[in-house]
C-alpha cells in the first residue's frame, strides 16, 4: 500500500525506479490489472497511485525475494 501522504508522485517514483534498477531480476508493479516496469518512472506515474492505493509487486529472477522486500518497504515506509 502506498503510504506517502502525496501518493507515488515524481520524487518517490524516481527513488523507487532507481532502487529497482539495482536488481538483476525483472520487476513489475500493478494497480488493478495494469502491470508496468518498476524501472520506469513514467510507467510508475501512469498508475496514478494516490495515498492508500494498493499496489502489487512482482519480481522474477535471482534476487527477486530481496527486491520485493526492499521495494515493498519503500512503498510502506517512504521516509526510509
* Angle, CA of 11, 16 and 19, to the nearest 5°: 125
Residue at grid coordinates 492508500: 52
As given in the structure block, the three cell numbers for residue 53 are: 492505493
According to DSSP, residue 8 is labeled: S
> Which of 9, 58, 63, 72 does the annotation list as catalytic?
9
Can 9 be counted among the known catalytic residues?
Answer: yes
List, by residue number, the catalytic residues.
9
Amino acid at each position: 500500500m502506498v503510504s506517502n501522504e502525496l501518493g507515488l508522485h515524481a520524487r518517490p517514483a524516481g527513488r523507487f525506479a532507481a532502487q529497482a534498477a539495482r536488481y538483476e531480476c525483472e520487476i513489475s508493479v500493478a494497480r488493478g490489472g495494469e502491470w508496468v516496469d518498476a524501472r520506469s518512472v513514467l510507467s510508475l506515474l501512469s498508475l496514478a497511485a494516490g495515498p492508500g492505493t494498493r499496489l502489487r509487486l512482482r519480481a522474477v529472477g535471482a534476487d527477486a525475494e530481496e527486491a520485493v522486500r526492499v521495494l515493498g518497504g519503500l512503498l510502506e515506509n517512504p521516509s526510509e
